[in-house]
Amino acid sequence: MSEVPSELKYTSEHEWVRREEDGSVTIGITEHAQSALGELVFVEIPEVGSQVAAGDACAVVESVKAASDVYAPIGGEILAGNDALADAPEKVNEDPYTDGWLFRLRPDDDKDLDELMDAEAYEALLAEQD
Amino acid sequence: MGFKTPLHALHVEAGAKIVDFGGWDMPLHYGSQIDEHHAVRGHAGVFDVSHMGVVDVCGVRARDFLSRVLANNPDKLRRAGKAFYTCMLDERGGIIDDLIVYFLDDDWFRIVVNAGTRDADLAWLHRHAGAFDVDVVPREDLAMLAVQGPQARELAAPLVEVGADAALALKPFNATLANEWMVARTGYTGEDGFEIVLPAAEIAALWRALASNGVAPAGLGARDTLRLEAGMNLYGQDMDTSVTPLECGLAWTVALEPADRDFIGRAAVEGVEPAVRFTGLVLDGRGVMRPQQVVHTDAGDGEITSGSFSPTLGRSIALARIPVGAGDRVEVEIRGRRLPAHCVKPPFVRHGKAIVDLD
């Protein structure tokens, strides 16, 4: 069974979202997603300063097997990308919830976060897809 | 649920991710396909290739029969144990399968065919065998593994039934036999090594012995990136019955001499100038080329047949069919964007070293 940290929010596209103390949110892909993709060889992160809407394809994770889009879980402005992944995409496989984060954004509306799944709902989704 | 090799339980026990390949449940990797790739390039790895079909062709006219059904000429195989790579063609020159043929004795050849084409191959062989009074015998009692890498021969030789000295004395594309074992210095990775055919009941012991000698189990994932770096075609991807050997870089395997050798497909390939050029591609920047992506050239569009990430080069590489006359600078359509790539002559990697220009 995949690890699903209880303090995070999730999307049905297998992204996780963490609210930071400064009001920004950090986004990555879940343990389940990295495992399904296989070993990553390239990661493309969105440009800092760009504006994204919820559901926009804004990053790409590419494994030995296939390329997959990562969607913005909520709308906002991109504040940072994880530049370390350019040389070490395997961090997403090894530590998807910590060193393998993809990008950080400032939400247009904090309330959008409430629309996302909690850990329990995401676990139920995984159980359903198994 | 597919067919299972005699090593299936060991793969599962080793934590392999199992996938379907040609109707067989086969290990894709045992944790990291990239680590397995590097193990073969740098040291030694072992692959279960028991899904491949071992077929014996026996009879006094076995050579004449193979001369009829193979595009390469079995008369090149004179000394017992000698092997070559060839295609088997239909009347239109389309590739029914690619295979390795071993000449074992005056009335005995052995061929090793792909898992996915095994049944079609057997049907084709049986259909043409009658005229030559030969027996075509699938050897279900045998299994097969490949030990590949710079240390592979040294680590495997002490473990094989033919004896270490005989195994180490083998020249490339030669095989030797003892007690139902066949050890051949062949492979599908671009590294040195052996392919070993042996009784199914004995393969698990050999697999374990290799593992305790430090040979890394490697799955189909690594096998695919290794063969692609080595510039070797994969049946069903780079070729099938819709293309001739001239359209997939295999003209060198078609023996048109002597002119009176009447092999099936000859009329369709003799004197024909192919309209496509089969080439290797290296992607200039980031991204990964995949099969069926469009290649834009100055002479029209082509198509990727095999594409992946090359762990040795840290770049994406591919095999592609492009129009004859196209320049070496091309663009590959990857997820809606045109990314620059350039043509190279495969192989991309030989004996662990890059041998193509990356820029």
B interface mutation test: which of A34, A37, A41 has the most B CBs within 10 A? Answer: A41
What's the CA angle centered on B177, arms B175 and B180, to 5 degrees?
130
| pTM for this model (two decimals) | 0.94
Beta pairing partners, B97: B88
What pLDDT was estimated at residue A70? 96
B63-91: buried (b, 16+ CB within 10 Å) or exposed (e) per residue? bebbbbbbbbbbeebeeebbbbbbbbbee
**Residues B116, B130 contacting (CB under 8 angstroms):** no
Alpha-carbon distance of A56 to A78, in angstroms, equals 12
Mean pLDDT of B83-101: 98
**What are the tokens at B84?**
């070559």
Alpha-carbon distance of B90 to A4, in angstroms, equals 54
Per-residue pLDDT tens digits for B136-181: 999 999 999 999 999 999 999 999 999 999 999 999 999 999 999 9
Q: How many domains does chain A have?
A: 1
**Residues B70, B113 contacting (CB under 8 angstroms):** no
Examine residue A36 and state whether it is found in any structural domain, yes or no.
yes
Could you tell me where in chain B the CATH 2.40.30.110 domains are found?
Answer: 275-354
Mean pLDDT of B302-321: 97
> What CATH number has the domain spanning B275-354?
2.40.30.110
Q: Which of residues 265-304 of B touch A (CB under 8 A)?
A: 286-288, 290
| A41: nearest CB among B221, B288, B290 | B288
**Inter-chain touch A64–B308, beta carbons under 8 Å:** yes
Examine residue A117 and state whether it is found in any structural domain, yes or no.
no
Minimum mean pLDDT among A63-67, B102-106, B302-306: which range?
A63-67
Which ranges in chain B belong to alpha helices (H)?
8-13, 33-42, 62-69, 118-129, 152-156, 164-168, 203-212, 220-229, 266-269
**Inter-chain touch B290–A66, beta carbons under 8 Å:** yes
Q: Provide residues of A within 8 Å CB-CB of chain B.
A: 38-39, 41-42, 44, 60, 62, 64, 66-67
**Inter-chain touch A64–B335, beta carbons under 8 Å:** no
At residue B289, the 3 state secondary structure works out as: coil
What pLDDT was estimated at residue A130? 73
**What's the CATH number of domain B1-271, 3.40.50.720, 3.30.70.260, 3.40.50.2300, 3.30.1360.120?**
3.30.1360.120
**What are the tokens at A48?**
């800092």
What pLDDT was estimated at residue A116? 96
Instruction: Tell me which residue has tokens 């590959």.
Output: B332
Question: CB-based contact (8 Å) between B325 and chain A?
Answer: no
Q: What residue numbers bound the domain in which A28 lies?
A: 9-109
Q: Give the closest-approach CA distance of B111 to chain A in angstroms.
A: 31
Q: Give the closest-approach CA distance of A103 to chain B in angstroms.
A: 19
Could you tell me where in chain B the CATH 3.30.1360.120 domains are found?
Answer: 1-271
**Inter-chain touch A64–B34, beta carbons under 8 Å:** yes
Q: Which of residues 207-226 of B touch A (CB under 8 A)?
A: 221, 225
What pLDDT was estimated at residue B359? 85
Per-residue pLDDT tens digits for B10-57: 999 999 999 999 999 999 999 999 999 999 999 999 999 999 999 999
Examine residue A90 and state whether it is found in any structural domain, yes or no.
yes
Mean pLDDT of B108-120: 97
Q: Count other Cβ atoms within 10 Å, centred on residue B324.
A: 11
B45-59: buried (b, 16+ CB within 10 Å) or exposed (e) per residue? bbbbbbbbbbbbbeb
Alpha-carbon distance of B286 to B296, in angstroms, equals 18
pLDDT interval class at A54 (50, 70, 90): very high
Mean pLDDT of A58-63: 94
How far the first Cα of chain B sits from its last, in Å, is: 45
**Inter-chain touch A39–B34, beta carbons under 8 Å:** yes
**Residues A5, A119 contacting (CB under 8 angstroms):** yes
Alpha-carbon distance of B310 to B214, in angstroms, equals 24
Looking at every residue in chain B, the average pLDDT score rounds to: 97
**Residues A35, A126 contacting (CB under 8 angstroms):** no
Examine residue A119 and state whether it is found in any structural domain, yes or no.
no
Q: Which of residues 101-120 of B touch A (CB under 8 A)?
A: none
Strands (DSSP E) along A64-108, which ranges? 67-71, 76-81, 103-107
Residues 6+ away with beta carbon under 8 Å from B336? none
Q: Residue A1 pLDDT more than 70?
A: no
Examine residue A129 and state whether it is found in any structural domain, yes or no.
no
- Across the A:B interface, residue pairs with CB atoms under 8 Å apart total 29
The candidate with the shortest Cα–Cα distance to B173, out of B255, B84, B74, is: B84
Q: Count other Cβ atoms within 10 Å, centred on residue B171.
A: 8
Examine residue A126 and state whether it is found in any structural domain, yes or no.
no
Return the amino acid letter for B30: Y
Looking up residue A32, the CATH number of its domain turns out to be 2.40.50.100
Calculate what percentage of chain B has a pLDDT beyond 70. Answer: 100
